[in-house]
Structure formats: structure tokens, C-alpha cells
């Protein structure tokens, strides 16, 4: 008896490890099979968007593919689980029954599911129940015809395990949402045309987008260094000038402690100076980054070279103003500071052709002159994801 209780405790631990790590569910299956002397196990999750069925406890194989494609819809146990879930969710979720208590033996043995599938895959005897992730999740263990049916001791064991599997599925769903949110946050940050970093009060970097990484690598006046020799040591934001370092630290401490932060100009060693804006991290983003831990005070640092004049892509200009591809390319070249003569020479066309294209650009964009058009281009570049390159 003591051995069973220890094996049960180990199985519960494996359940939570699988929920947190995502790759331990096959170990859970093996522990459940040994506890209940079962041939196989199933925990069927159905994707709400696609309707795809997957057994969390088994690797994909021909029998699982066949079940998901056809026999899941014919499984009388799964059908009863859906009915129980719909009619009396609170009573049935987290319980356990032997197969004959779920579906009468006669009906089961005459079903297409048993005749064409279950008897060929050692699923003559079953013990199971239903869990809840916003939709019914059948859980079951099976024995073949050469083994006896499950008994009341097996029911007790599965009833003990079921609430833990239920909580593990809830944890798994939450972690999945958190990972997805973090991934979306990272993707959104990388699409910005400005450098963005989130730091704590000690200037340790919690997140830095692709643009910030390019600035740190090329600017010289502002960079990131590891706080120790270890490969996993935290990255820390460092201003090379002592005066800039003091100012930056002060603004970050202000933002982290509830103040407004502020802005400063950081000179580059051999590059354009940086405009740096420091402000508190929005509470929602701070909570998302903290996950289950209490959110710590952090600050957002936005960086942009003062001589950086990015232009929107030619494709965007074609879409917004109806420019031709050639006109859009000329528009980008002119907004980058090129003269009509420069553009004509670079493109290998006559000066008159470029001037005609510029007149078309001004007309289609409803700009009075090139200076007016350049202002519009600057505004569009600020809204264009990934439009700036250091």
C-alpha cells in the first residue's frame, strides 16, 4: 500500500512538471499506466479553432491519426463525456468511473467504435472521466481483452489524480497564453522604428528590441555590458560619459519610483548623438513581463539618433498616394536629401524625367512643395514598422 501511495505522489509531481515544462506528459502516461496496470492512456484535447483532436499522453502514430480523423466522433465514451459536461459539469468534472458505468456494455460492444477500432487497439476495458478547460476533455486508461476490467481501487486512484490533472491543464493553458503574449510583445517591439529597452532601477535590461541592439552595437556613447563573466549574467545599460551615466541613472530612478522620468541627449563616439526618452513602464506591460511574480519597478527607454531621417517604404507610398513604383523610389531618394540632379544621375535618367516625376509626386500627395512632402514622409516613417535602420 505504501508503494502505491508513493507512486501516486510521484505521478502527481510528474503531472505538475509536465504542465510547467510542456514536454513531460509521456512520463505522466507511463506513471499512470503502471499505477492502474493499463495498456494505454488518453487525454484528448480539441483545438477550438480547428477542431483538431490530439492525445496529450501519446506521440502521433497511425492509430492516433486514425482515431482523431474518424473514431473520436464515434467514441461513445467521449459522446457521454460531452453530454455530462453540458448537463451537470460540476458533478462530473474531476470524477472517475469504469467504462460500464459510463456506457452500458452491450451498447459499447455493438458500437462501430469498438468493432472497427477499440478491439484492434487493446481498448476493451476502460476507466475514465471528464476534465474542463472551457470545453470537455475526456481522460481514459485502457486494457485489452486479455486483462480484467478496472475495479473500485482503480477508480479511487484515478479520482485522486483527476483534480491534479485538471489544475495542471489550467496551468498549461495559462502558461501558453503568457508565452503567446510575451511573443507578441517581443514581435511588436521589434517592429518599432525606434530603439526600445525596458530596464530596472539598476539599469539591468529586461527587454531590448532589434533596433536598440543595433544602436548599442554602433553608437558607442550608449551600450550594454554583462554584469559578470558568466554566460547567463544580466545585461546592463551603460553610458560611456560619466555625466550621461549620472543623468540616465537619475531619470530611470525617477521613472521606476513613480516619477515622470525625462529625456537627455547622449553623444556618440563617432556617430550621431542619441535622443533618449525615459518614462515609467505601463502597468499592464509590467504585469505581463512579471508573469506570476510581483511586478518590479521598471522604466522604458526610447532611443533615436538625432540625425536619423528614415523614410517609409516605396510600397507604402504606392498604396497611400497611388504613386508608380518609379515615382515612389524617387520620392524616397528625394526625402533622404537627394537633389533632382543626384536622383537623375543615380537612376540613369534625364533630369527632366525626374522633375516630371517630382511634380507627379507633389500632386498625388497633395503637397505644396518638397519641404511639405518631406514633413509628411517623416510622419509616415515614424508609423512604419521597422522602417528605420541604424
d(CA 293, CA 47): 29
Greatest Cα pair distance, the chain, in angstroms, is: 95
Fold type of domain 2-180: Beta-Lactamase (3.30.450)
User: What length does the chain have?
Assistant: 390
d(CA 326, CA 357): 8
Architecture category of domain 192-305 in CATH: 2-Layer Sandwich (3.30)
CA-CA-CA-CA torsion sign (109, 113, 119, 123) = negative
Residue ranges per domain, the chain?
Answer: 2-180, 192-305, 314-383
pLDDT at 192: 75
In this structure, what C-alpha cell is assigned to residue 249?
Answer: 541613472
Q: What are phi and psi of 221, to 5 degrees?
A: -75, -20
Q: Are 165 and 141 in contact (CB under 8 A)?
A: no
H or E element: which one contains 317?
helix 314-321
Q: Which residues pair with 239 in a beta bridge?
A: 222
Closest CA to 275 of 259, 263, 283: 263
Q: What residues contact 63, with CB distance under 8 A and at least 6 apart?
A: 121
d(CA 168, CA 159): 15
Task: Answer whether 2-180 and 192-305 agree in fold.
Answer: yes
Those residues of the chain that have pLDDT short of 50 are 231, 386-390
In this structure, what C-alpha cell is assigned to residue 93?
Answer: 468534472
Percentage of the chain beyond pLDDT 70 is: 86
d(CA 20, CA 111): 38
> Phi-psi bin for 301: left (phi > 0), alpha (psi -120 to 50), beta?
beta
Q: Are 32 and 161 in contact (CB under 8 A)?
A: yes
pLDDT at 390: 41
In this structure, what C-alpha cell is assigned to residue 287?
Answer: 504585469
**Cα angle vertex 317, ends 340, 313, to 5°?**
85
pTM above 0.85, yes or no: no
d(CA 249, CA 14): 45
pLDDT, tens only, 297-323 = 889 998 888 765 566 778 888 888 898
Q: How many CB atoms are closer than 10 A to CB 329?
A: 18
pLDDT at 1: 59
pLDDT at 52: 82
Please say whether the structural domain 314-383 has been given the CATH code 1.10.10.10. yes
pLDDT at 249: 93
What is the SS3 assignment for 233? coil
Amino acid at each position: 500500500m505504501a508503494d502505491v501511495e508513493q507512486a501516486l505522489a510521484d505521478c502527481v509531481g510528474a503531472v505538475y512538471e509536465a504542465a510547467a515544462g510542456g514536454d513531460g506528459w509521456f512520463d505522466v502516461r507511463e506513471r499512470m499506466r503502471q499505477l492502474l496496470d493499463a495498456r494505454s492512456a488518453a487525454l484528448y484535447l480539441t483545438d477550438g479553432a480547428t477542431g483538431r483532436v490530439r492525445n496529450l499522453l501519446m506521440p502521433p502514430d497511425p492509430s492516433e491519426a486514425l482515431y482523431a480523423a474518424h473514431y473520436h466522433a464515434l467514441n461513445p465514451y467521449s459522446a457521454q463525456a460531452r453530454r455530462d459536461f453540458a448537463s451537470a459539469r460540476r458533478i462530473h468534472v474531476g470524477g472517475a468511473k469504469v467504462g460500464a458505468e459510463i456506457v452500458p456494455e452491450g451498447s459499447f460492444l455493438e458500437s462501430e467504435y469498438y468493432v472497427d477500432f477499440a478491439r484492434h487497439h487493446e481498448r476493451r476495458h476502460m476507466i475514465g472521466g471528464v476534465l474542463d478547460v472551457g470545453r470537455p476533455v475526456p481522460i481514459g486508461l485502457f486494457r485489452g481483452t486479455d486483462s480484467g476490467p478496472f475495479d473500485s481501487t482503480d477508480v479511487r486512484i484515478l479520482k485522486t489524480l483527476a483534480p491534479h490533472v485538471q489544475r495542471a491543464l489550467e496551468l498549461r493553458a495559462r502558461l501558453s497564453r503568457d508565452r503567446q503574449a510575451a511573443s507578441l510583445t517581443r514581435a511588436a517591439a521589434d517592429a518599432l522604428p525606434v530603439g526600445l529597452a525596458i530596464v530596472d532601477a539598476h539599469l539591468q535590461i529586461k527587454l531590448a528590441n532589434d533596433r536598440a541592439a543595433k544602436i548599442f552595437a554602433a553608437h558607442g556613447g550608449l551600450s550594454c555590458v554583462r554584469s559578470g563573466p558568466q554566460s547567463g549574467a544580466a545585461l546592463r545599460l551603460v553610458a560611456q560619459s560619466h555625466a550621461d551615466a549620472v543623468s540616465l541613472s537619475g531619470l530611470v530612478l525617477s521613472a521606476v519610483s513613480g516619477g515622470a522620468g525625462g529625456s537627455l541627449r547622449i553623444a556618440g563616439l563617432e556617430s550621431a548623438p542619441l535622443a533618449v526618452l525615459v518614462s515609467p513602464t505601463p502597468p499592464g506591460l509590467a504585469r505581463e513581463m512579471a508573469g506570476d511574480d510581483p511586478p518590479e519597478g521598471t522604466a522604458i527607454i526610447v532611443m533615436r539618433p538625432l540625425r536619423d531621417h528614415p523614410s517609409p517604404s516605396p510600397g507604402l507610398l504606392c498604396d497611400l498616394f497611388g504613386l508608380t513604383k518609379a515615382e515612389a523610389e524617387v520620392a524616397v531618394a528625394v526625402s533622404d536629401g537627394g537633389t533632382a540632379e543626384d536622383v537623375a544621375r543615380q537612376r540613369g535618367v534625364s533630369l527632366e524625367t525626374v522633375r516630371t516625376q517630382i511634380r507627379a509626386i507633389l500632386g498625388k500627395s497633395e503637397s505644396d512643395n518638397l519641404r511639405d512632402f518631406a514633413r509628411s514622409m517623416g510622419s509616415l516613417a515614424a508609423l512604419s514598422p521597422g522602417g528605420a535602420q541604424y
